[in-house]
Amino acid sequence: MRTLAKYIFFLVIVLGLFGCESIIDYDLPPSDPKLVLNCYFTNDSIWKVDIFKSKSIMESGDFEFVPGAQVEISNQNGTVYPLTYIGVGEYISLENAIPQIGANYTVKATRLNFEDITATAAMPSKVEIISIDTASVQNNGYPEQESKITFLDPANEKNYYSLKLNFDQVTVFQYDSLL
Amino acid sequence: MKKLIFAFIVLVNCLNLSAQKFTISGYLSDGETGEKLIGASIYSKQTLLGTTTNVYGFFSLTLPADTYNIMFSYVGYASQNLKINLLQNEQINLELSSSIQLKTFEVTATQAEQIQERSQMSSIEIPMKSVTIIPSLLGERDILKVIQLLPGVQSGGEGTSGLYVRGGGPDQNLILLDGVPVYNASHLFGFFSVFNNDAINNVELIKGGFPASYGGRLSSVIDIRMKEGNQKEWHGTGSVGLVSSKLTVEGPLIKDKTSLIVSGRRTYIDLLARPIIKQQARKNGTDAVAGYYFYDINAKINHKFSDKSRLFLSTYIGKDRAYATFEDEYNYDNTRFVSKSESDLGWGNVTAAMRWNQVISKKVFSNTTFTYSKYQFGVGEVLDDETFEPDTSYGELFEYSYNSSIEDFTGKIDFDIIPNPNHYIRVGLGDIYHTFRPGVNAFRNEIGNNQNDVDTSFGAAKIFAHELFAYAEDDIKIGSRLKVNVGLHFSGFISHNTSYFSFQPRISGRFAINDNLSIKASYAEMAQFIHLLSNATIGLPTDLWVPSTDKVKPQNSQQVALGMAQTVRSKFEISVEGYYKTMQNLIEYKEGASFFSVGQNWDNQIEFGQGNSYGAELLVQKKEGKTTGWIGYTLSWTNREFENLNFGNPYPYKYDRRHDISFVLVHQLNENIDMGVTWVYGTGNAVTLATSRFPSANSSNKENFFSYFQDVQYFESRNDFRMPSYHRLDIGINFKKERKWGERTWSFGAYNAYSRQNPFYLFFENTGNQTVLKQVSLFPIIPFATYSFKF
């Protein structure tokens, strides 16, 4: 689709010949900053979340970390893991709690002067790799390495897969696809 | 349905039973060109009975045996008064003379059917004579842009020819060129419309109170009738402008029997720019050809077999194409590398129509039509890299193309039945056979060794569908004050896995308070079986026409309107209307989806919702005299509501426009100089702007250095911000001069005369320690000059 993009670009350039820019007023509806919580969890690391403060679209500069929040993770059985602030916006589990595959976790954060936030997520099961085959092939006289990876895709659910290949000195390939 | 037909036949027969009545019927045409006059008035003053000509210039008036003074009149033409002793059926084919040609005569204000007399409301006839005087962008006269100047109609973005009628989308306009629907009416990404006004005879816009004969779209009908060609002698018109040049030739193949009109237009910027591009590219060691053009051709043949039978063949072919070819070649170490790339983007319409008019009896007129319409869009790219070594050569070829199209074959038959002056009945039926190709991708890749070659195509399968319709309507006069148009439009959509049927009642009427003032009201239901998938804010050709399927229901609308029409001092037509419209099963792309991702499952990528629009419109129009023009004002509200968009909350439509004003003035200074001024004002478009921002989840992943600073913008609500208001003044002046060979006109003018910086789009920009909102404006003052000629 590069072609179309090219033409749209071409069009924008043509219009740009006429076009001109000017600054206009933006009367933002007044809104207080909100808590922003980001968390990746895997079953090989302890719980760790980041908490920031959102900024108005008109404010520039880096995001501010939010210390002093009360943050806790709970699973569907009602077990609660409190998290503790360790600086640079990070809250971690000092009990060294590790997330489990398949469990439903809810994270909750409260802090004075902010609205409470909660979110729920679960970790999908590990992708079962059935086989990895590699072969050397020739392409126009140049050697190429070909890899074939077979893995098990659960039949009844839709998943995004990201394939990341690390070779010794070579770069990383990534590819996303919905199966 | 059977009952309905039976009742209808009984009705017609009853109306015919009254004794000793005779019919005056025939055609009205322009005395100079033989061009048919549409909507001209035929009127008997003593009985206050009359009729109007239909779109083929045919009329029929049945009156009791007596002697009458019948007045034949049409706007801009000298009226003719005939004394008719009606003792038998009379056939009268009359030619009226254009008042402009009659400089020595005192031409009194002649009127066609006055606005307050018509039962039809929410309908405006575009004065074609003004279209050539109203100034326009780059001097390119454009009928759709004149329609944008009417109340109830909004333009999309700056300079574009999209139409948004009473809160409807651009896909909800039935744009008919000689009765054939045109699917994409834009050239150059919407900056110009595909209609060449040199070939147009008559244009009518209907925004509500739709007569039952029209169907298939929710919001408007734009009925464009091409000229039929001069019946008397050969003539031509043409012009040379900044954007394009055009030429129209018309004349009789057989005098007063067969006429032909051919009209063509092409842009030539690409031809002028080609050597410059080539030269520039050479400097960089590349061979390059690139450009953009559009062209269109209209042609029509009209043959009169007899006074009762006529045949028309008409066609329109138009295309836009952007192309670029680059070729690079270099040598290194006894090896020659050649790299070629070709890209192509094109879209266009082809329409064709064959129509046969037959006057079956003095009171029955029939029209049989077969039409073809196709809209096609395609984009393609070829990359070819070849390497020549001293003893061997190899290469890689990559080809990609994407195509989408919609194609229609239509057959229909319509009857006009005029049993007496109190009834005007229209009935008809037809079928449209649609073929949809919503998007096919084709890939080809040759790498030299056959093993890895790819040659494949994928995308949505063709969908075939029948759209059937039948209608009946009667324009009924009840007493001297009340006139009602009652009708029913039936339509059905049948494709392989689904079918939908719809009965749409239509009623409109007027009640005359006095000779000059009437009150009007209407109710119309509409159904639309085809949808336009569009995620662009300008009229990009990538917009995709898709059918109703089992998942995608037809769009429906209901509209009620109430208004008043008045003629003041036989000069000013004033109409005020209020309307309320609801729409269901509107479609929008899901958040994040676009045409790039539309494959087999396009119907999984859309959301369904509803909309409403309400408002009031005022139009004051002056059609006669040295100074003509109009003032239009629209006050309106338009909203959309989708379950899965904007958290299910209603939000303003992008083209929700609280105030919209247009002022059009056309003035004839003297015989040779006329001028036009337009001024428009509109509330700014509704846009969605972010209100706050927060760090993305990736920012927390501090190991990934590159995504550390990624922001996510937070949007509070759809279309919750208003762009600055839009206003613009255009001026133009035409100097005509008679020459030995005919007449030439120099036109000068300016678009956006006071160079208002109107917003085209908005964006945020971070200037170090501050973020500001900026607007991009498209056109400052753009002057134009056009040379045109007539012979």
pLDDT of residue B442: 77
**Choice between B112 and B182, residue whose per-residue pLDDT is larger:** B182
A35-122 topology per CATH = Immunoglobulin-like (2.60.40)
pLDDT of residue B705: 45
**Residue B784 CB contacts under 8 Å (≥ 6 apart), including other chains:** B135, B136, B137, B138, B139, B241, B242, B732, B747, B748, B749, B750, B751
Mean pLDDT value across residues B217-239:
91
pLDDT-derived band at B660 (thresholds 50, 70, 90) equals very high
Pairwise CB contact (< 8 Å): A39 & B694: no
**Residue B514 CB contacts under 8 Å (≥ 6 apart), including other chains:** none
Nearest to B118 by CA among B206, B177, B26: B206
Retrieve residue A73's tokens.
């993770």
CB B632 within 8 A of CB B573: no
Of B59-63, B491-495, B537-541, B712-716, the poorest mean pLDDT is in B537-541
Nearest-angstrom CA–CA distance, A30 and B631: 39
Of A68-82, B577-591, B767-781, the poorest mean pLDDT is in B767-781
Q: A41-70, pLDDT tens digit by residue?
A: 888 888 889 898 998 888 877 888 888 889
Q: Report how far apart the first and last C-alpha atoms of chain B are (Å, whole number).
A: 54
Nearest-angstrom CA–CA distance, B520 and B754: 40
A162/B contact by beta carbon, under 8 A: no
**Residue B226 CB contacts under 8 Å (≥ 6 apart), including other chains:** B177, B178, B199, B200, B201, B261, B298, B300, B314
Domain ranges of chain A: 35-122
The vertex-A75 CA angle with A72 and A78, nearest 5°, equals 90
Q: B671-725, pLDDT tens digit by residue?
A: 899 999 999 999 988 888 888 888 887 654 455 444 445 788 888 888 888 889 9
Distance from CA of B764 to the nearest CA of A (A): 8
Q: Where are the beta strands (DSSP E) in B307-453?
A: 309-332, 335-361, 364-388, 393-420, 423-446
Q: Which residues of chain B have a CB within 8 Å of the CB of A20?
A: 757, 776-777, 780
pLDDT of residue B476: 92
pLDDT of residue A146: 78
Q: Which residues of chain B have a CB within 8 Å of the CB of A26?
A: 689, 721, 772-773
Of B87-101, B131-145, B148-162, B324-338, the poorest mean pLDDT is in B87-101
pLDDT exceeds cutoff 90 at B664: yes
Range with top average pLDDT, A92-101, B45-54, B187-196, B462-471: B462-471
**Choice between B216 and A155, residue whose per-residue pLDDT is larger:** B216
Nearest-angstrom CA–CA distance, A111 and B599: 46
Nearest-angstrom CA–CA distance, B71 and B585: 49
pLDDT-derived band at B609 (thresholds 50, 70, 90) equals very high
Q: How many residues does chain A have?
A: 179
pLDDT of residue B706: 46
Nearest-angstrom CA–CA distance, B769 and B215: 57
pLDDT of residue B331: 83
pLDDT of residue B471: 96
A contact test, residue of B341, B398, B694 with most A CBs within 10 A: B694
Pairwise CB contact (< 8 Å): A55 & B692: yes
Q: What is the signed CA dihedral for B184, B147, B641, B609, rounded to 10 degrees?
A: -30
Retrieve residue B443's tokens.
């890939």
Pairwise CB contact (< 8 Å): B322 & A10: yes
Nearest to B432 by CA among B462, B407, B460: B407
Q: Which residues of chain B have a CB within 8 Å of the CB of A55?
A: 692-694
Of B233-242, B271-280, B293-302, the poorest mean pLDDT is in B271-280
Q: Which residue has the tokens 């808590």?
A: A35
How high does pLDDT run on average in chain B? 85
pLDDT exceeds cutoff 60 at B168: yes
Q: How many CB atoms sit inside 10 A of residue B331's CB? A: 9
CA B409 remoteness from chain centre = 20
Mean pLDDT value across residues B555-562:
95
Q: Where are the beta strands (DSSP E) in B599-710?
A: 606-622, 627-642, 651-652, 659-668, 673-682, 686-687, 690-695
Pairwise CB contact (< 8 Å): A54 & B693: yes
Pairwise CB contact (< 8 Å): B777 & A20: yes
Nearest-angstrom CA–CA distance, A106 and A72: 8
Distance from CA of A26 to the nearest CA of B (A): 6
Nearest-angstrom CA–CA distance, B605 and A142: 43
Mean pLDDT value across residues B479-503:
92
Q: Which amino acid is at A143?
A: P
Distance from CA of B623 to the nearest CA of A (A): 36
Q: Which residue has the tokens 């098990």?
A: A152
pLDDT of residue B704: 47
Distance from CA of B712 to the nearest CA of A (A): 10
Q: Which residues of chain B have a CB within 8 Å of the CB of A11?
A: 189
Distance from CA of B31 to the nearest CA of A (A): 46
Considering only the beta carbons, identify the residue of B694, B697, B770 that sits closest to A60: B770
Distance from CA of B403 to the nearest CA of A (A): 12
User: For residue A13, what is the nearest residue in chain B, using CA coordinates?
Assistant: B778
Q: How many CB atoms sit inside 10 A of residue A51's CB? A: 25
Mean pLDDT value across residues B243-254:
91
pLDDT exceeds cutoff 70 at B110: no
pLDDT-derived band at B9 (thresholds 50, 70, 90) equals low
Pairwise CB contact (< 8 Å): A23 & B757: no
CB B186 within 8 A of CB B175: no
Pairwise CB contact (< 8 Å): B770 & A19: no
Give kind and range of the element (H or E) at residue B274: helix B269-283
If chain A, 179 residues long, is cut into consecutive pieces of 10 residues, what is the mean pLDDT of each piece? Answer: 51 55 75 86 86 86 86 89 88 85 90 91 86 80 78 80 69 56
Nearest-angstrom CA–CA distance, B154 and B615: 13
Mean pLDDT value across residues B355-377:
91
Output the CA–CA distances (angstroms, integers) from residue B215 to B172, B468, B530, B556, B557, in the order listed.
11, 10, 12, 11, 11
**Residue B471 CB contacts under 8 Å (≥ 6 apart), including other chains:** B212, B213, B215, B426, B427, B428, B429, B487, B488, B489, B490
Q: For chain B, what percent of residues have pLDDT higher than 70?
A: 91
Distance from CA of A146 to the nearest CA of B (A): 12
Distance from CA of A115 to the nearest CA of B (A): 15
A72/B contact by beta carbon, under 8 A: no
Pairwise CB contact (< 8 Å): B778 & A59: no
Considering only the beta carbons, identify the residue of A39, A49, A54 that sits closest to B714: A54
A140/B contact by beta carbon, under 8 A: yes
Nearest to B93 by CA among B60, B126, B63: B60
Q: How many CB atoms sit inside 10 A of residue B712's CB? A: 16
CB B41 within 8 A of CB B70: no
Nearest to B466 by CA among B533, B552, B529, B414: B529
pTM across the whole model: 0.82
pLDDT exceeds cutoff 80 at B343: yes
CA B175 remoteness from chain centre = 4
Of B128-142, B201-215, B476-490, the poorest mean pLDDT is in B128-142
**Residue B706 CB contacts under 8 Å (≥ 6 apart), including other chains:** none
pLDDT of residue B282: 77
Retrieve residue B517's tokens.
């003032």
Q: For chain B, what percent of residues have pLDDT higher than 90?
A: 36
Pairwise CB contact (< 8 Å): B769 & A22: no
Range with top average pLDDT, B459-463, B543-547, B575-579: B575-579
Pairwise CB contact (< 8 Å): A28 & B768: no
Q: Are strands B90-91 and B21-30 parallel, antiparallel or unpaired?
A: parallel
In chain A, residues 30-69 whose CB comes closer than 8 Å to chain B: 31, 33-34, 36, 38-40, 49-50, 52, 54-61, 63
Give kind and range of the element (H or E) at residue B522: strand B517-528
pLDDT of residue B356: 94
Q: Which residues of chain B have a CB within 8 Å of the CB of A23?
A: 772-775
Range with top average pLDDT, B306-310, B338-342, B477-481, B730-734: B730-734
In a 13 Å sphere around the CA of B273, the CA atoms on its Cβ side amount to 14
